[in-house]
Structure 1
Amino acid sequence: MHTVHTQLPTAMPVLALKDGLFIAWKDDCFRSRATARTFGVEIIFLGRQGGRQPMRYLRLMWRTWQLLRARKPKTIICLNQPPMLPLVCALWAAGHNGDVIQDFHSGALSKPQWRLFQPLYRWMTRRAPVTLMHNRADAGIVAAWRSATALLLTLPSAAPLGVERQVSGDRPRFMFVCTFATDEPVELAIEAFAACPEADFWITGNYRKAGLDQAKMPANVRLLGFIDYATYQQVMAGSTAVITLSDRPHIMQMAVEEAISLGVPVLTNHSPTLAEALGAAGVFTSLDAAALAAGVRQVLDQQPQLELAASTARQRCWAAVQLELDGLRTRRPELFC
């Protein structure tokens, strides 16, 4: 039976593993850091490494094996992509009476390059005490493999010191968080922004890889490029709302977790995952320019209500995480302190 919490949590819930370590083949990751904090473990980023595949993966597998030999954790949490990372962790754990918990990102199911590895994912998740899922659609697929799952939809963090929610300037200013990946409708978004001259739009990310030129942008659109994370958080905290868009409807977008952490409303695409995470702190739109422009105006019209909902969204998400962690402790008490 889950513990009933009558008040919203005032801090991110923590369920500490007895002897755990988080490993990621990335330079950094907001979600991975949040997951490590949730389970009270150290996180080690081994980077992406240079060179061509498969030599790059072989080097990372060797570094991971050496790290595990040195640290000897009882429980390993790792990103599920690329699949070579959970594989090397599973092989090490099999010989050392350990467990591997995958932090399961959607790309393992949706990206073509990883679909051939789904039998491997099924084998690894069936052996795991639990697999950490980011949305209900993926959780249903992995549960159908007869694998234990825990749904941690979003893991917002407390706002860092010195970063406070304070909308800047006389004009509304939206922050379009963009990586210029293939699932992000950038041209459509710029067309919508041009149709909303009453607001300004700042776009983050390496716009040069998309061939964009500031001189060719509408007067109310500014290309920020890549900015350091402290500046990124300050810009987000001072924005009227965050815009983040994807044509992949079930993914949990990192910008949504960051916006919830800072108490900023979000304008995003229709998505059952994002609707569950944001609740009344979100405005949802179809992926066409006219609908997105209408969404911008809806944010401006409903700003007081959105601000109120965004101010409590973090605590509401923490309450959902607490319920899931309570259930996990009940099912696998031997894993936790």
Structure 2
Amino acid sequence: MSTTLKSEVVSAGEKSPVFVSWIDFHGRSEGIARTLGINEWSEGGGAGPLPLRYLRLWTSTWKYLRSAKPSAVIVMQPPVVALLAVRAAVGKNVRICGDLHTGTFHDPKWKWSTKLVARLLGGSNLAIVTNDSLAGKVRKQGAEALVLHDLIETYPDVESLGAFDDPALAPLVDGKYVLVPITYSYDEPLYELAAATHLAPDVSWVFTGRPPSTFVDACNPDNTVFPGFVSREEYLRLLGHANVLLAPTTEEETMQRAGYEAMCAGKALVTSDTAVLKDFFGEAALTVPPQADRYASAVRKAAHLQAEFEKRITELRTDRVYEQSKALARLSEWIHGDD
């Protein structure tokens, strides 16, 4: 099978595949769509109660897809409501690929819908997952599954990105800091992370996103930084200057977006000691149980041996890019109707 992705220009009026995500931006969705050369449509639904946001998204998804008339659709999962909206808009004659994030299987809000998702993706449709364990679960439900990791590429050098937009972040460059990109979700050991900031006071801990006040209060105020939601460029600056990146999870089958980003940026990585993460990163990362003392010691060790771990993860990146090219080629063939 060829590993060359299709990139032909779609002529006016010709139907083309699209990637639909019910979120304002997601790096995985953007990366896959860009690599496949297809349109990406992302929308978060705005503010307000969840039912109202879903109603807005259902309506806007319907309008977009009825206008675009795509030849195939990739839709991010969860929520299953997005998959139902896509099916309602395109009918049964358009093939759908569900990009099944781990929350489809483990998030308490969505794991009830796993069988429904698999049933909707049966027949000539397809499911994308991030590891073999999840692929097996999908296949047991009668759907075809393809293992595809987040897009692995090489990020730009931090020097090319310029200075921080927020001057308050500039002092980070002069010390050692660990970047912890988390969403304060069900699978993140927040108590252990907060405790780790007290056990490693010589390291600055940078937590992105919008943390709950209880988490902020539990962290060491002397060495924690909360930049909030930042632009993509500002995030790449934070990543580029970081000595270590920490990608925590308590779920066995979860692949970490932050772990992929450490590989893309060639950064020393600390992550969880689950089977899927140890299998993917091997000796290129420090994998430890989600415990405060282990996080603190691993971050210190990774910072001390920063150059060595950067070398390891950069070398591994070459192998993973080759493996991924084959999966992307398979997806390209499916989405362009070459089965």
Task: Please report the TM-score for the alignment, with normalisation by the length of structure 1.
Answer: 0.84
Q: Which moved more, 1:132-141 or 1:47-56?
A: 47-56
Q: Which moved more, 1:204-213 or 1:151-160?
A: 204-213
Residue 114 of structure 1 pairs with residue 117 of structure 2: no
SS at match of 2:37: coil
Q: String of CA shifts for 1:112-138, please: whole Å, max 9, x gaps.
A: 332332332122121343211122221
Match of 1:264 among 264, 267, 275: 267
Query: For this pair of structures, how many residues does the alignment match?
Result: 322
CA contact (8 A) 1:23 1:43 kept: yes
Contact 1:25 1:48 in 2 (8 A): yes
Quote the residue 2:53 is aligned against.
Answer: 56
Q: Report the counterpart of residue 321 of structure 2 in structure 1.
A: 318
Q: 1:123 to 1:183 in 2, by over 3 A?
A: closer
Residue pair 1:15, 1:38 contacting (<8 A) in 2 also: no
Q: Distance in 2 between matches of 1:94 and 1:158?
A: 38
Task: For residue 235 of structure 1, report the CA deviation from its aligned partner.
Answer: 1.2
CA contact (8 A) 1:260 1:278 kept: no
What does residue 8 of structure 1 align with?
none
Residue aligning to 2:147:
151
Letter in 2 for 1:311: T
RMSD: 2.8
1:71 and 2:74 are equivalent in the alignment: no
Per the alignment, residue 10 of structure 1 pairs with none
Q: CA deviation at 1:333?
A: 8.5
The AA in structure 2 aligned to 1:67 is Y
Matched letter for residue 55 of structure 2: L
Structure 2 CA distance for aligned equivalents of residues 103 and 156 of structure 1: 16
> Are residues 282 and 64 of structure 1, via their aligned partners in 2, closer, same or farther at CA, if it must alter by over 3 Å?
same
| 1:180 counterpart = 2:184 | yes
2:28 aligns with 31
Instruction: Point out where structure 2 has 5 or more consecutive residues left out of the alignment.
Output: 11-15, 163-171
Opposite residue 120 of structure 2, the aligned amino acid is: M
The whole-number CA distance in structure 2 between the counterparts of 1:241 and 1:36 is 29
Q: 1:92 to 1:184 in 2, by over 3 A?
A: same
2: CA distance between counterparts of 1:55 and 1:222? 34
> How far apart are residue 67 of structure 1 and its match?
1.0
Could you tell me which of 115, 132, 140 is aligned with 2:128? 132
Work out whether residues 17 and 336 of structure 2, in 8 Å CA contact, stay in contact via their aligned partners in 1: no
1:176–1:204 CA contact under 8 A, matched in 2: yes
Q: CA deviation at 1:174?
A: 1.3
1-structure distance, mates of 2:191, 2:79: 30
CA deviation profile, 1:4-57 (whole Å, cap 9, x unmatched): x9xxxxxxx745598201111111111110111232111011222333343432
Q: What per-residue deviation string (whole Å, max 9, x for no partner) do you get for residues 241-280 of structure 1?
A: 1012111121122211222221112111112232333333
User: Are residue 242 (structure 1) and residue 245 (structure 2) matched?
Assistant: yes
Greater Cα offset, 42-51 or 53-62: 53-62
- SS class of match (2:110): helix
The letter of the residue matching 1:335 is G
Report what 1:94 is aligned to. Answer: 91
1:75-112 deviation line (CA, Å, top 9, x unaligned): 111112211111122233335x2111111111111123
Cα separation, partners in 2 of 1:246 and 1:86, compared to 1, 3 Å = same
* Deviations 1:156-203 (CA, angstroms, capped at 9, x unpaired): 233147249xxx756432112222223222332232233234433222
Match of 1:212, SS state, is helix
1:194 aligns with 2:194: no
Q: Contact 2:17/2:335 (CA < 8 Å) preserved in 1?
A: no
1:158 maps to amino acid: T
- Structure 2 vs 1, CA of residues 209 and 333 (structure 1 numbering), >3 Å: closer, same or farther? closer
Distance 1:158 1:148 in 2: 30
Whole-Å Cα distance in 1 between the matches of residues 108 and 223 of structure 2? 37
Change in 2 beyond 3 A, CA 1:318/1:336: farther
Residues 1:128 and 1:35: Cα distance change in structure 2 (over 3 Å): farther
* Higher RCO (C-alpha under 8 Å, 6+ residues apart): 1
User: Does the Cα contact within 8 Å between 2:103 and 2:111 map onto a contact in 1?
Assistant: no
Deviation (angstroms), 1:320: 1.3
Identity %: 23
Residue from 270, 275, 279 that aligns with 1:276: 279
Distance 2:325 2:230 in 1: 33
What letter is aligned with 1:21? Answer: V
Aligned equivalents of 1:154, 1:333: Cα separation in 2: 17
SS where residue 222 of structure 1 aligns?
Answer: strand
TM-score normalized by the length of structure 2: 0.84
Q: Alignment partner of 2:79: what SS?
A: coil
Q: Assess if the C-alpha contact under 8 Å between 1:93 and 1:100 holds in 2.
A: no
Question: Which runs of no fewer than 5 residues in structure 1 stay unpaired?
Answer: 6-12
Q: CA–CA distance in 2 between the matches of 1:297 and 1:53?
A: 41
* 3-state SS of 1:87 partner: helix
